[in-house]
Amino acid sequence: MAAEVTAPPLREYPGAPQALAPGAMAASKPYVATDKMQQALGFPGELADDWQEKALGKMGELLGKYRSLKVYLDSCVHCGACADKCHYFIGTQDPLNMPVARQDLMRSVYRRHFTLPGKLFPKLVGARELTKDVLDQWYTYYNQCSECRRCSVFCPYGIDTAEITMAAKEIMDSVGYGQKYSNEIIGKVHRIGNNLGLPGPALADTLAGLEEDVKEETGADVRFPLDEKGAEVLLVTPSADFFAEPHVDSLIGYAKVFHAAGIRWTLSTHASEAGNFGLFIGSYEQLRKLALRIREAALDLGVRRIVVGECGHAWRVAYSMWNTLAGIGAGGTDPFAKALQGRLDARYKQPMHICELTWDLIERGALTFDRAANDHRVVTFHDSCNVARASRMGDAPGGQFEIPRAIIRAVANRYVEMPKGTTREATFCCGGGGGLLTDELLDLRVKGALPRMEALQEVVDRGGVNFMATICAICKAQFTKVLPYYGFKMGMVGGVHQLVSTAIRLGSK
């Protein structure tokens, strides 16, 4: 891993444009997946002699399967609207971290091999052969994109760099040049059931321990059921919620909400992971295989509702893609979709975010809170990129911004909003999303957090904020790690349901 991890200095708010630093991050790259990890997912173990031909073949295949890729590689006019919008560019100043430059790493190859001008006049249109050097550059810089889609908000054609990064990762996987962190984790889900490789008995143990802890703390018999057939709700949550800090405090919050509302719920060992790293590596097949586990668990347990815990990309996959991938949703007319949708309760959104569930209960007056219990906290909210720009909550567009904030205001008295341009659809990524939450990329992660840290500093100075709530397992893990590099306490970050957990009245105390 990179020898030195350094945090750039916070700029005066708002930050001014910076000079370019070509090559600044050329040495940052994650470990390559071993042949075993590759083969477990059906990818070749390593680069073969004919890798170039295979990579171009895969690229041609993807151009025919994904309209996004085809249209986006054609449409960019190099206007530069996106150039200063990426948190990794802002934090590293490496020009290849400008979204347009990152796209051009693939666009140049597309032009050379798939378009007439690139075949005739490569220099004129910036076209390049797919050489080993170019492939290495792909590996370096497509592993410096967290697929957060901030650039797509500002592009006049909606070009989404995440689509191109995902295609690049799929092409690299298909020639045996995969990334260790993501591919190893996907393998663990297939083998064991979750990203952390937590087997069923260990999970049961952990949950039993949580029941005892909550009993001791509150006196209430809050249950953490596992694999209970006939439960109404299947809760699918990121496995980090089972034992990582501060994630587990939100899991306790979900359990207290179910308890207080009298909803029978269950977790599942087979579906003990909401995260779906198939998204990060751009593999439809992997996305689908992982999503099918949720379908199988729901059918097996006979639940009527499926609810998703606090996890950003998981909610993107659940909200936007589960219906497509696994028939979890509504409106399906084919037998595959109807087999599940006929058994789910049509009065509720399927799937539902835990924040939607909690907010519904609050609106119906089913939960009561002691808001003063959170008075030691001055709270701000960090919008997680996949929730903000790739999903929704509730009935109206923008519900993904309003509902978590409404919950926070219902359970805490002191709330301060971070500056405009750093929240809602313009939110900055935490710096650790998209399959980059690995130690050898720590320098990149710290630098990528810069714009969020600047915004946080602004509300710390202006409003005395000491708690940044978020609804994403990756954001929580990333901030816990990088906050200290900027002089903040790692305990400043936590979940929305951690706040709910603090304030909720359970009645039986």
Partner 1 sequence: MTAATFIYALLLYAAAAVLAGGLAHRIYVYARTPAPLKIPTTPAPTTKGGVALRLLREVVLFESLFKSSLWTWACGWLFHAGLALVLVRHLRYFTEPVWGWVAWLQPFGAYAGFAMAAGLAGLGVRRMAVARVRYISTPSDHLMLALLLAIAVSGLAMKYVTHTDVVAVKAFCLGLLYLDWQPLPSGVLLYAHLALVALLMLVFPFSKLLHAPGVFFSPTRNQADDPREARHLSAWAARLEAHE
Rank residues 184 and 383 by Cβ distance to partner 1 and give the closer one: 383
Buried b (16+ CB within 10 A) or exposed e, 289-301: bbbbbbbebbeeb
Is 157 one of the binding residues for partner 1 (CB under 8 A)?
A: yes
By CB atoms closer than 10 A (0-12, 13-18, 19+), residue 347 is: exposed
- Closest listed residue to residue 506, CA positions, set 370, 309, 409, 375: 370
Say if CB 104 and CB 74 are below 8 A apart: no
Is 397 one of the binding residues for partner 1 (CB under 8 A)?
A: yes
Nearest distance in Å: CB 65, partner 1: 6
Is 283 one of the binding residues for partner 1 (CB under 8 A)?
A: no
Say if CB 367 and CB 361 are below 8 A apart: yes
Q: Pick the stretch among 138-146, 388-396, 488-496, 500-508 that binds partner 1 (CB under 8 A).
A: 388-396
Query: Please, what is the Cα angle at 11 between 9 and 17, to 5 degrees?
Result: 115
Annotate each residue in 195-234 with x if it binds partner 1 (CB under 8 A) or - if it does not, as one string: ----------------------------------------
Annotate each residue in 20-39 with x if it binds partner 1 (CB under 8 A) or - if it does not, as one string: x-------------------
Please state, in angstroms and rounded to a whole number, the distance separating the CA atoms of residues 376 and 370: 13
Pick one of 48, 208, 336, 508: the residue that binds partner 1 (CB under 8 A). Answer: 336
Please state, in angstroms and rounded to a whole number, the distance separating the CA atoms of residues 103 and 168: 10
Pick one of 52, 320, 413, 466: the residue that binds partner 1 (CB under 8 A). Answer: 320
Alpha-carbon torsion, ordered 461, 464, 466, 471, to 10 deg: -80
Q: Pick the stretch among 23-31, 264-272, 280-288, 457-465 that binds partner 1 (CB under 8 A).
A: 280-288
Annotate each residue in 343-372 with x if it binds partner 1 (CB under 8 A) or - if it does not, as one string: ------xxx---------------------
Is 60 one of the binding residues for partner 1 (CB under 8 A)?
A: no
Name the DSSP letter for residue 97: G
Is 388 one of the binding residues for partner 1 (CB under 8 A)?
A: yes
Rank residues 148 and 367 by Cβ distance to partner 1 and give the closer one: 148
Count, residues in the chain: 509
Nearest distance in Å: CB 77, partner 1: 5
Nearest distance in Å: CB 481, partner 1: 28
**What is the gyration radius of the CA atoms in the chain, in angstroms?**
23
Both tokens of residue 96? Answer: 């290849």
Nearest distance in Å: CB 115, partner 1: 7
Rank residues 26 and 79 by Cβ distance to partner 1 and give the closer one: 79
State whether residue 41 is helix, strand or coil: coil
